[in-house]
Structure 1
Amino acid sequence: MRNVLVPTDFSPASFDLAEKAIHTMGEQVLNITLFHAFQMPFFVNDLIRKQRQPYHDLLTDAFRNNCKQLKQQYPKQVNTIVFKHLYGNTPAVFRNFVDANDIDLIVYPDQYEFRQVHPDSVNPDTMFKKSRVPLLRQFKSKRRVITLPEITAVEEEAIALLKMLNATS
């Protein structure tokens, strides 16, 4: 069983990343952790004030439903899917998070673009790269399988095109 960390901006694109990771990992059973980092409060007043967690408004019913749907869609590959956040932006703090959650792999594609969804959101790029945890940067592509009737139709079109070219020359 692998513990996989997937960065999330709470959008459907995060679930696309998780789904691509599931396809890439094949038949391996995964514990998926959807992850978002927030800046540590700087002033004491920020710690004392009673305020909502920064992710409070981001954890919508749609987000929760997407988590359930992903688990239902891949019951053999997905053991658990959870959301976890981190207060901090240093590689050392992130390393402690990784160790505490037994993260084996971070899904971090080459084309990943961080999207700040809260004023305290932190770009995880440096933390991921310095964590010494393997990064899943590229995914297996879904190959389109051509069935025999499709091949025949393509061949027929090619033969018709060749006949037209021969007739004009």
Structure 2
Amino acid sequence: MKTLLIPTDFTQQSIQSIPVLARQYYPQQINIVLVHMLKITDNISELLMLSRRSVEYRHIPDNFYKRCTELERKHSHLINKIAITFFYGSTVAVFNNFLEANEVDAIVMPHDNYQLLFKNSIDPEILIGKSKIEVIAKPETQGIMADIVIEDFELTEEHH
């Protein structure tokens, strides 16, 4: 089973490539780790509260959770699980520890219109470019077949 890390800004664009990726690894199932990256604060009171943080999770739209659950259900033969999390840090060493802890095999580049959501959000491409893990180009740009699959996925999503 492969684990793929996908940077997310909690939009449809950040998850639209999941069906294409899942099909690329068939017959093997995949785990998806959707992550938004944040610089760690230097404020001591915020650092003390870091382990109990849920502030960022409140910014994840309910329909994003719903779409992830629908993807898991619709593609259960291809997708083992989709996890949504935050990465706190700004160094390659901390990022590599995060990748290792989550058993990530490859990282998918963020979509073209990726948004930094918080004042302490960081551009994921900075750390991705410095990691030693396989990087997968944006699947939605990998040809006509990917466009057809994504179009089909978007049409299906509208009907749910």
Displacement after TM superposition at 1:59 (Å): 2.2
CA–CA distance in structure 1, aligned partners of residues 54 and 18 of structure 2: 24
SS in 1 for 2:15: helix
Q: Which has the higher contact order (CA 8 A, sep 6+)?
A: 2
- Using the aligned pairs only, state the percent identity: 27
Instruction: Tell me, in whole angstroms, the C-alpha distance in 2 between the residues paired with 1:118 and 1:84.
Output: 15
Structure 2 equivalent of residue 93 of structure 1: 94
Give me the whole-angstrom Cα distance separating, in 1, the residues matched to 2:60 and 2:125. Answer: 22
- Any unmatched runs of 5+ in structure 2? 149-160
Gaps of 5+ in 1: 145-169
Q: Which has the larger radius of gyration?
A: 1
Q: CA RMSD, aligned part only?
A: 2.3
Could you tell me how far apart the structure 1 residues matched to 2:23 and 2:106 are?
Answer: 14
TM score, norm. by length of structure 1: 0.74
Deviation at 1:54, TM superposition (A): 4.2
- Residue 106 of structure 1 aligns with which residue? 107
3-state SS in 1 of match to 2:86: strand
Judged with a 3 Å threshold, the aligned counterparts in structure 2 of structure 1 residues 75 and 48 are, in CA distance, closer, same or farther, namely: closer
Q: Match for residue 55 of structure 1? A: 56
Kindly tell me the number of residue pairs found equivalent between the two proteins: 143
Deviates more, 1:67-76 or 1:114-123: 114-123
Between Structure 1 and Structure 2, the one with more helix by share is 2
Task: Point out 4+ residue stretches in structure 1 off by more than 4 angstroms.
Answer: 48-52
Structure 2 Cα separation of the partners of residues 98 and 48 of structure 1: 23
What is the TM-score normalised by the length of structure 2? 0.78
Task: Name the counterpart of 2:30.
Answer: 30
Matching residue of 1:4: 4
